Structure 1
Amino acid sequence: MTDIPTTTNGHRPTPPDLTLLPDQQADPTLNLTAPTPSPLGINRAPSTGPAADRTVSETSYEINLDEEPSAPASPVPVDLPGDGIVPGSVPTEGRRPIIPAGLHRGNRLASAQAAAHRFGYVAAFHAVRLPWYGVQAAWWSVVGMARLINRQLRWWWVSEQYTLQQQAANDNDPAMWLKLHREGKSTRRWRGVVLALQVIALIIATLIVAGLPLWMQLLTVAALIPLLAHRGRPAGQPIIAPAVVTRRYRKLNSDVVLRAYYAAGLGHPDRADQQIEFGAQMARDGNGSKVLINLPYGRTFAEAVKAREKIASGLDVSIAQVTLSRDPASNRSHWLWVADADPLASPAGRTPLLACRETDIWQPAPLGIDERGRQVSLFMLWVSILVGAQPRRGKSFTARLLALYAALDPYVRLDVFDGKGSPDWRKFALVAHSCSFGFAMTRDGDPLEIFVQMLRDLKTDVQHRYQRLSELPVEVCPEGKLTREIARDPKYGMPVRLVVIDECQEYFDTGDKELNKEISNLLVYLVKVAPAAGVIVLDATQKPGGVGTGDVATAFTSFRDNHQVRFALRTGSYTVSDMVLGAGSYAEGFDSSVLLPSYKGVGILRGASDETPTVRCYLADAEDAEKILTAARALRQRAGTLSGHAAGQTMIRETRDVLADAASVFASGETGLDWAQMATRLAERIPEHYTDLTAETISAQLRALGVSSVNIKRDGQVLKGAKQAAITTALAQRQTPAA
């Protein structure tokens, strides 16, 4: 029989006694705790006595995995003194500062301003309600005076004796009744004298106050009214309501925790081998309380994570307030942390990137704050990142936050593409090497062609990077991997690249089957291979499944599943959450569909580290993004790394496309333009090709390409021109190959 003791780290109970044979149990000298080395390297348990020599030396062994356990101690005291678990005790991680943080030299002004603001608010709150306080105090003081008089009269008349006299009468005991009656008369006599003296003293005091100046009379009345009002007001109904509501903490103690775990089916209170135990004392931790839980033997941390919703119900809190963290010492132990209030209800605040300082992509990017108020950062290198959510949940804002961090590193090359063409990403044209927004034709060309060409060039770049890295000497490129020095040295030509694709599902369904296949194959290749070459792929989607048909649908699934880091904001169902977070995430207890609709910018981050936190992302709105991108452009100009579209390299084209250029000059809502107006707009927007363009020239060129000249109403006049629909049709016919 081989007995392996459990790890003893002070957090778990002593393992159960070893099972002994009958002859071993009869021998009081048997000792199984001091192993002696054996020839096989296994510690054999020594013994004394013949019985032990006969059995233990041949059949009983133990392997020393840990240090020798200490002597059995008394149970861990779980609950701290007081009502509930909200003491002002010192956290276990460290000591409280001698001088509070608010009194440090740099914080004194802010602390004084905060205190002044608080007291000013309280004073204004009560000043407005002061007349009402006076009315209430006057009324309740009258009630209090009546109650005080009534109490004194009842004291004088010995009213508490009535019950005893009635009991004597019921018992037909005249002797006891007469005795009580005589004692009552005697008591009333001397209490009446005392009461008369009180009345005389009150009259004298009233006469004295009446002879005082008016201001002293008012002062005396002002002092008496609060005392009488306090006596007269109903219990639990203060006259002066608090201006600031004090947070009420949920009571948390060992009984509540045990109730929650037993209700979740993680143990049984009546079975000794299925009882929940505590491995450490409860303690305050940030804005909540924590305790180490020891599950019964055989139960795992994964089971507790799956039962998190039931644990929250047993604790009578929201699921967002419950966090479970793995205990590295044992798989049956974990830390339970319960927040005082919903930590996801309050926003994380604006992004620290608003400082507009230069960043470093080789350092983690600040993403937000987790449930426990700790900052969450994301190391973007060597991974591809997928952000998924329902519309209007903060998907683009989250992806943009990471892109802004990369933009402030002047040595990172950005390629930004937005399948929906919203304003969220357009300001990235200030720093992007290549970019396009939506699928509508622009003066820079067809956005879809720009995107496909970027993918082709990027694949070629990735292949060349691997070839160049393998050829570099070891002292320059250890282990054949991209380094910070190589990425920032222009002679190598291998900067870190970030490719952002918002609404990436749109590029898998362009309407052109052959183009769909090419795009899907290129994207799958990049998301699998490019990160290791220093190319970060950041994708965002609101439709993580059911995109395309046939090979394209298979490619999209492969593309989605090969992202190493996943961030899911609120989704419509647990199946969609599983698509975004990865297969098996729901079985592990991670479901973004349970996030409340009121949460904005809150999601589950999986794959970035061993933990899977729920993150409140920092906010960077459109104005913040423009400010940051303006600073990022200045940083790139200073470093000499502005390239591509941002440097104006795509503005001059060697050839012109009359149909595409004409389509790009239509404003939103316009259905047609007359020839003169179209010629003017083309000359203004694309002067390198249309400086001397006239109405007759553009009319002849477009009519030659199949666009009819029709009547266009403008300012009450009917002029000749072209319809936008006719130009779009001509473009489609040109791009469609002949049958």
Structure 2
Amino acid sequence: MVPQNPPPDDKFDWKAAEEDVAEVVQLDEARTRRDSTAQAGTHFEVALDDQPAPGGMPVDEPRRGRSADRIPIVPVGWSTWPNIKHSIRQTTAVTAYRFGFHSVRAPKYAVLAAFWAFVGLFRLAGRQLTWWWVAEQYRLRQAAADANDPAMWLKLHREAKATRMWRFLVLAAEALAVSIGGPALWVTAPSWALAVVAAVAIAFLAHIGRPQDRPIVTPATVAGRFRQINPDIILRAYYAGGLGHPDKPHQQIAFGSTMARDASGTGSQVSIDLPYGKTFDDAVKARGAIASGLDVALSQVFITRDPSSHRRHTLWVADRDPLSVGAGRTPLLRCKPTDIWQPAPFGLDERGNKVSVNLLWTSFLIGAQPRQGKTFAARLLGLYAALDPYVKLTVFDGSGKPDWRKFALVADRYAFGLAMTRDGDPAEIVVEALREIKADVQDRYERLSKLPVDICPEGKLTRQIARDPKYAMPVRVVLMDEFQEYFDLGEISKEIATLLVYLVKVAPAAGVIFVDATQRPSGIAAGHVAQQFTSFRDNHQVRFSLRTGSWQVSDLVLGNGAYSEGFDSSTLLPSYKGVGILRGAWDETPTVRTHLADGDDAAKILTEARKLREAAGTLSGMAAGEDVTRVARDVLADVRTMFEPTERGLQWEDIAARLGDRLREFYADVTAESVSAQVRSFGVRSVDVKRAGKALKGAKADDIDAAIQRRKAA
């Protein structure tokens, strides 16, 4: 090579240097030819970035065959008659759409074109005046004046005068042609010619007058932005993410497969072998850096574990954000009977694959910020269970939203909100239902252990036993939304918490499924109930986390260790409604776009579900209008339910009469004095209440509500 500081000419051998330079040029040309030949079989697409430096490792297997590198003479779209018809239909449809799109906007285009043509007329005049005056020479003359060079200044001035005269003649001829030719054309030319000339002139002037960032015509179709991915870009991304080093021994990234499009045609995938000592967890933690190196969004990069090696994984890069596309309406809208023993359709994963979840023998925790689709996801599983007429449903909604109200058509037990209802105190209903479920679970274990082996071979519930009425052991599904509310009701929460912890640990094996949703997975204040809340939350096997506020909250929903494995629902965008991370259902942890079932869909499905239960004879409990047997008596709550919506006060005699008539099993012998004493023991005042113009002692509805609230807060 030529030295940077050559010696003097009498000592430097220029001939040898020229020979060295020629040799280097020949080596570079040969290396370039070798690299271009190798690239023909390296990438399945054209690289967008700089060409890789020589010496890179081969990735894809070279294509073999004499025609491997040849482009078909006839394009694939026009090679066969079916392809030709498809191409014609596709082209016709796009053309028709564009024609309709622009036809509707044609008046707008005309107005904009006329406005910018008017502006363009003045801009064109300004440009021609600037051209006539030779304004570009001004700096040269100023430079000559600054240099005190009068000769050069006079020369430039004379040239400017001559040029101005010539250009003036050109502009005068142009003005004369327009002033004479325009009226002549207007008089002699046909209408269509005038229209063509006007359209051309307006388009030309509008093009001059319109700013570059203000297009007149709006594109009817917009091509998506794709970052083409090739192996060299992947190597760049992984090295930039600190997962290896191209120049250090044993620190190179290797490929375990050729890079190819995935089966769905929506992205590219390749198997990656990290350097020894680097793990799958390192790749997951570096996912953001990999996405940056690939120049794509984080939501387009997915890393999947390879069971054959802890340093190997599959990288899948989507062409566009797959989570921004909804999964569509739920297939449950067909209103066909379902089978709880089969997986429930839940949504689509990031690659568009169908995701179904097994509900049996498990418990399902759903957590998210408000308005991210948490209730919709839980309700989707509830609708699937409702369409199985042999499933017994229990529905509790701690917030009292309208989303769950229609489940009253099919639910054996239900309670919505925390305010007093005609059905009683919702908290009491929850307690009684949980007591009944606990007793049922204990009874099931006892009876299952005594069944013959040919009927119950493994000592646990089977589909045949669950669907046979004589065993009275149907699969049960307990749906609880905003369950944190039941842990914050004062004294009664202690029993609720104890029952829930017991059931979530023991009940799934007896065929009792829990689907629980909350927007506050962190729990409540310290204390025994708070510890029970944590135990209840952590004993769910399957977790589904939609968008959360932080990675700590995401870990509470998905379970400890999820963040260290690279799963963080706080990275999901706020625009992702119904999108969450599903963990614990399988070895994989996909990001799922849940199917949509809105309020009208749910009402339709539940109406059909009721019909299925009526036909099968399995409608029971509160949905069937039955008086559910109570385990304990709550005088205060019972008295409150005796008030009609318009009544603000009742006399003790009326209260006693209604109790004895409506709740005869508990209040058959109740008297006005006894009910008064019991209610006043809770701090309720005995006041004058008028009825039919006669005032007698009784109670106000507001006073009873206040007593109930005091009891809850105690």
Instruction: Give the TM-score normalised by the residue count of structure 1.
Output: 0.68
In the alignment, what sits opposite 1:427?
Answer: 406
CA contact under 8 A between 1:371 and 1:613: conserved in structure 2?
A: yes
Q: CA deviation at 1:390?
A: 2.9
Q: CA deviation at 1:612?
A: 1.2
Q: CA deviation at 1:552?
A: 4.1
Say if 1:632 and 1:270 are closer, same or farther in 2 by CA, change over 3 A.
Answer: same
Q: Select the residue among 358, 376, 379 that pairs with 1:397.
A: 376
CA distance in 2, matches of 1:220, 1:499: 74
Q: Select the residue among 77, 80, 85 that pairs with 2:45.
A: 80
CA contact under 8 A between 2:114 and 2:206: conserved in structure 1?
A: no
In the alignment, what sits opposite 1:133?
Answer: 113
Say if 1:507 and 1:103 are closer, same or farther in 2 by CA, change over 3 A.
Answer: farther
In the alignment, what sits opposite 1:640?
Answer: 617
In the alignment, what sits opposite 1:281?
Answer: 259
Say if 1:212 and 1:274 are closer, same or farther in 2 by CA, change over 3 A.
Answer: farther
CA contact under 8 A between 1:138 and 1:225: conserved in structure 2?
A: no
In the alignment, what sits opposite 1:460?
Answer: 439
Choose 407-416 or 204-213, whichever is displaced more.
Answer: 204-213
Q: CA deviation at 1:527?
A: 1.7
CA distance in 1, matches of 2:354, 2:428: 40
Q: Select the residue among 565, 571, 595 that pairs with 1:594.
A: 571
CA distance in 1, matches of 2:358, 2:312: 29
In the alignment, what sits opposite 1:536?
Answer: 513
Say if 1:223 and 1:579 are closer, same or farther in 2 by CA, change over 3 A.
Answer: closer
Which secondary structure state, in structure 1, belongs to the residue aligned with residue 323 of structure 2? coil
Q: CA deviation at 1:447?
A: 3.3
Say if 1:712 and 1:212 are closer, same or farther in 2 by CA, change over 3 A.
Answer: farther
CA distance in 1, matches of 2:400, 2:214: 59
Q: Select the residue among 231, 235, 244 that pairs with 1:267.
A: 244
Structure 2: which amino acid aligns with 1:605?
L
Structure 2: which amino acid aligns with 1:122?
H
Q: CA deviation at 1:354?
A: 2.7
Structure 1: which amino acid aligns with 2:584?
G
In the alignment, what sits opposite 1:221?
Answer: 197
Q: CA deviation at 1:585?
A: 0.5
Structure 2: which amino acid aligns with 1:121?
F
In the alignment, what sits opposite 1:572?
Answer: 549
In the alignment, what sits opposite 2:104?
Answer: 124
Choose 223-232 or 701-710, whichever is displaced more.
Answer: 223-232
Choose 719-728 or 535-544, whichever is displaced more.
Answer: 719-728
CA contact under 8 A between 1:293 and 1:335: conserved in structure 2?
A: yes
CA distance in 1, matches of 2:692, 2:353: 61
CA contact under 8 A between 1:137 and 1:239: conserved in structure 2?
A: no
Say if 2:313 is the partner of 1:337. Answer: no
Q: CA deviation at 1:659?
A: 4.0
In the alignment, what sits opposite 1:388?
Answer: 367
CA distance in 1, matches of 2:266, 2:122: 45
In the alignment, what sits opposite 2:272?
Answer: 293
1:191-206 aligned at under 5 Å gives the runs: none
Q: CA deviation at 1:547?
A: 4.0
Partner deviation per Cα, 1:32-79 (whole Å, 9 max, x = no partner): xxxxxxxxxxxxxxxxxxxxxxxxxxxxxxxxxxxxxxxxx9997235
In the alignment, what sits opposite 1:408?
Answer: 387
**Aligned residue-pair number:** 618
In the alignment, what sits opposite 1:377?
Answer: 356
Say if 1:121 and 1:220 are closer, same or farther in 2 by CA, change over 3 A.
Answer: closer
Say if 1:379 and 1:240 are closer, same or farther in 2 by CA, change over 3 A.
Answer: same
CA distance in 1, matches of 2:490, 2:267: 53
Q: CA deviation at 1:328?
A: 4.4
Say if 1:228 and 1:438 are closer, same or farther in 2 by CA, change over 3 A.
Answer: closer
CA distance in 1, matches of 2:189, 2:693: 89
1:3-14 aligned at under 5 Å gives the runs: none
Say if 1:336 and 1:250 are closer, same or farther in 2 by CA, change over 3 A.
Answer: same
Which secondary structure state, in structure 2, belongs to the residue aligned with residue 312 of structure 1? helix
In the alignment, what sits opposite 1:7?
Answer: none
CA distance in 2, matches of 1:597, 1:669: 43
Choose 384-393 or 713-722, whichever is displaced more.
Answer: 713-722
CA contact under 8 A between 1:674 and 1:719: conserved in structure 2?
A: no
CA distance in 1, matches of 2:486, 2:537: 13
Q: CA deviation at 1:486?
A: 2.8
Q: CA deviation at 1:607?
A: 0.6
CA contact under 8 A between 2:432 and 2:630: conserved in structure 1?
A: no
Which secondary structure state, in structure 1, belongs to the residue aligned with residue 581 of structure 2? strand
CA contact under 8 A between 2:635 and 2:679: conserved in structure 1?
A: no
Q: CA deviation at 1:135?
A: 4.8
In the alignment, what sits opposite 2:601?
Answer: 624
Q: CA deviation at 1:432?
A: 0.9
Say if 1:305 and 1:203 are closer, same or farther in 2 by CA, change over 3 A.
Answer: same
Choose 228-237 or 391-400, whichever is displaced more.
Answer: 228-237
CA distance in 1, matches of 2:309, 2:473: 45
Q: Select the residue among 405, 415, 418 that pairs with 1:436.
A: 415
Structure 2: which amino acid aligns with 1:378?
V
CA distance in 1, matches of 2:645, 2:524: 29
Task: Give the unaligned 5+ runs of structure 2.
Answer: 1-37, 51-70, 133-176
Q: Select the residue among 434, 445, 467 that pairs with 1:488.
A: 467
Which secondary structure state, in structure 2, belongs to the residue aligned with residue 570 of structure 1? coil
Q: CA deviation at 1:637?
A: 0.5
CA distance in 1, matches of 2:704, 2:636: 6
1:501-516 aligned at under 5 Å gives the runs: 501-512=480-491, 516=494
- Structural RMSD (CA): 5.3
CA distance in 2, matches of 1:247, 1:677: 77
Partner deviation per Cα, 1:470-500 (whole Å, 9 max, x = no partner): 4444544444443333322223322211112
CA distance in 2, matches of 1:337, 1:235: 41
1:601-616 aligned at under 5 Å gives the runs: 601-616=578-593
Identity between Structure 1 and Structure 2 (%): 53
In the alignment, what sits opposite 1:40?
Answer: none
CA distance in 2, matches of 1:207, 1:239: 32
Say if 1:283 and 1:652 are closer, same or farther in 2 by CA, change over 3 A.
Answer: closer
CA contact under 8 A between 2:114 and 2:202: conserved in structure 1?
A: no
Say if 1:210 and 1:645 are closer, same or farther in 2 by CA, change over 3 A.
Answer: closer
Say if 1:664 and 1:238 are closer, same or farther in 2 by CA, change over 3 A.
Answer: closer
CA distance in 2, matches of 1:102, 1:429: 56
1:242-253 aligned at under 5 Å gives the runs: 242-244=218-220, 246-253=222-229
Q: CA deviation at 1:231?
A: 8.3
Which secondary structure state, in structure 2, belongs to the residue aligned with residue 619 of structure 1? coil
Choose 631-640 or 211-220, whichever is displaced more.
Answer: 211-220
CA distance in 2, matches of 1:133, 1:735: 71
CA contact under 8 A between 2:544 and 2:581: conserved in structure 1?
A: yes
Structure 2: which amino acid aligns with 1:430?
L
Say if 1:115 and 1:334 are closer, same or farther in 2 by CA, change over 3 A.
Answer: farther
Structure 1: which amino acid aligns with 2:219?
A
Choose 221-230 or 382-391, whichever is displaced more.
Answer: 221-230
Instruction: Give the TM-score normalised by the residue count of structure 2.
Output: 0.70
Which secondary structure state, in structure 2, belongs to the residue aligned with residue 492 of structure 1? coil
Q: CA deviation at 1:337?
A: 2.6
Q: Select the residue among 521, 537, 559 that pairs with 2:536.
A: 559
Q: CA deviation at 1:379?
A: 1.5
CA distance in 1, matches of 2:189, 2:391: 83
Q: CA deviation at 1:524?
A: 2.6
Choose 712-721 or 292-301, whichever is displaced more.
Answer: 712-721
CA distance in 1, matches of 2:212, 2:711: 83
Partner deviation per Cα, 1:282-338 (whole Å, 9 max, x = no partner): 537544443443322332222111211222233344322221123445433333233
